[in-house]
Amino acid sequence: MTGGLIDKLLGRLIRRGRLEVTYASGRRAVYGAGGDGAPDVAVRFTDNKVPRELLMDLALGAGETYMDGRLVIERGDIMGLLSLGQLNDRWEQEGKLIAPGPVAQAAKKLVFTWRSFNKPSTARRNVAHHYDIGNDLYRLMLDETHMQYSCAYWPREGMTLDEAQEAKLAHIAAKLALEPGQRVLDIGCGWGGMAIYLARKFDVQVLGITLSEEQIALARIRAEEAGVADRVRFELVDYRQLHKQEEPFDRIVSVGMFEHVGQPQYETFFRTCANLLKVDGVMLLHTIGRMGGPSFTDAFTDKYIFPGGYIPALSETVAASEKVKLIASDVETLRLHYAKTLREWYARVMANREKIVAMYDERFFRLWTFYLAGSTAAFENGEMCNYQIQFTRDRQTLPFTRDYMTATETKLTTP
């Protein structure tokens, strides 16, 4: 029965590209005509429970059955499969693909869980728990120069990942309007890439904080190597505890951390930031965002990638920041930049398949590639984007035009 239902659904859904499915019974079905440049992928279900699991929750079902080797890709790869799905359910075309009717209810649910499959971000807590995921995996996947585990910035064609990550750092630094002698706080500093970059390029002192011991250890080594250890500190501390030990900062930057805060904590987050920021301070928040209204995290991501994480809508973010009088002085939505970044990471992971499987196992490799591919699809055709929000506490703080941003960025990126 579920075989019949999924058959109908796929028949309706796949309008671009081509999907070939071999069911456990041996029956083969082809959805979509293909030949239009969209992915052409063939999969096989090894048992007859797979369709039901997909129908229950598409993201979780697909992720688990793929991970377990019960959904096998026979032509193409997981990137192709997930891109194909999302391409046929472009967020922009919401509500136009599914005709009303008895199947529509199930279809709506299917599409909804598909759509709400989000994002990359630190797969730290849960994955680390199960796999003892270390810095090595990230070294294989991320850019070498800055080890940035967040969206890069691609202003030109033909950039390398390393160049695009450096361009991102420059883009953010320009929005911080830094002055010599300032103290900067980096909330969620990762392996220290941002903190080190700021200290190298500007006469500032940076405190980077994270909750990961592995990150701190490597960040400290990298700061030594970069010769900025005298102006960059890294500490293992929760941002909510920081006011006990630190004076307010001139600047706060937070990249790829807000996704982990969770909606119930938004007001606490912004209140804490406002209190950690001087009255004439500037804060730059860089976070994955959802383009629609408030929603929830898909089951796969919640279970395997980031438990407790949530990708914010812009409305709920600024509704929380307004309450503590942080003024959203500038908002930029980066679209497709993350998809380009993820495709680079995916390529590096694929290129290092042997090593990663040796470090972990096949199942982990499939989990990881599923996560990267699903995230890519979400940024290309799903609901995901990336917000850069600049906040001030006083309207006088920054110049009255954006010229300073472009001027600083040009200076930083011109060799």
Partner 1 sequence: MWLLDKFLRKAIKRGRFIVTDHDGKVYEYGPGGDEEMRIRLTHPKAAHHIASYPQVGAGEAYMWGWLEVEAPHDIRDMVLFVTKNTKRIGDASLQPKSPLKKMAQKLIAKADGINLKGKARKNAEHTYNLTRRLYELFLDEDRQYTMGYYRDTSNSLEKAQLDKKAHIAAKLNITPENGPNMRVLDIGCGWGGLALYLHRVYGCEVLGVALAPDQIQFCKERAEAEGVADKVKFALMDYRDVEGSFDRITSVGLLEHVGTPHYPQFFEHTAKLLKPDGVMFSHCCGRAGPPGFTDAWTRKYIFPGGYIPALSELITQSEKFGWQVMDVEAMRFHYSHTLEEWYNRTVMHKDEIVELYDEQFYRMWQFYLAGAEQSFRYGKMVNWQIVYVKDREAIPMTRDFMYEESERLRESEEPPVWHLAQAAE
Binding site for partner 1 (CB under 8 A): 92, 94, 153-155, 291-293, 313-316, 318-319, 322-323, 325, 327-337, 385, 395-396, 398, 400-403, 406
Comparison of 278 and 303: residue with beta carbon closer to partner 1: 278
- For the chain, the first-to-last Cα distance in angstroms comes to 63
Burial of 125 by CB count in 10 Å (0-12 exposed, 13-18 middle, 19+ buried)? middle
Comparison of 38 and 199: residue with beta carbon closer to partner 1: 38
- To partner 1, the closest distance from the beta carbon of 412 in angstroms equals 15
- Listed in sequence order, the residues at least 6 apart from 105 whose beta carbon sits closer than 8 Å to its beta carbon are none
Tell me how far apart the alpha carbons of residues 16 and 212 are, in angstroms, rounded to a whole number: 43
Which amino acid is located at 159 in the chain? M
Comparison of 162 and 316: residue with beta carbon closer to partner 1: 316
Question: The tokens 């679209």 sit on which residue?
Answer: 335
Comparison of 146 and 337: residue with beta carbon closer to partner 1: 337
Could you give the 3-state DSSP secondary structure of residue 72? strand
- To partner 1, the closest distance from the beta carbon of 104 in angstroms equals 19
Q: Which residues of 265-284 are buried (b: 16+ CB within 10 A; e: fewer)?
A: bbeebbbbbbebbbeebbbb
Tell me how far apart the alpha carbons of residues 43 and 23 are, in angstroms, rounded to a whole number: 9
- To partner 1, the closest distance from the beta carbon of 90 in angstroms equals 9
Find the angle CA(285)-CA(391)-CA(389) to the nearest 5 degrees.
Answer: 40
Comparison of 246 and 330: residue with beta carbon closer to partner 1: 330
- To partner 1, the closest distance from the beta carbon of 371 in angstroms equals 22
- To partner 1, the closest distance from the beta carbon of 95 in angstroms equals 9
Cβ-contact 249, 281 below 8 angstroms: yes
- How long a stretch of residues is the chain? 415
Comparison of 140 and 327: residue with beta carbon closer to partner 1: 327
Tell me how far apart the alpha carbons of residues 102 and 67 are, in angstroms, rounded to a whole number: 31
- To partner 1, the closest distance from the beta carbon of 385 in angstroms equals 7
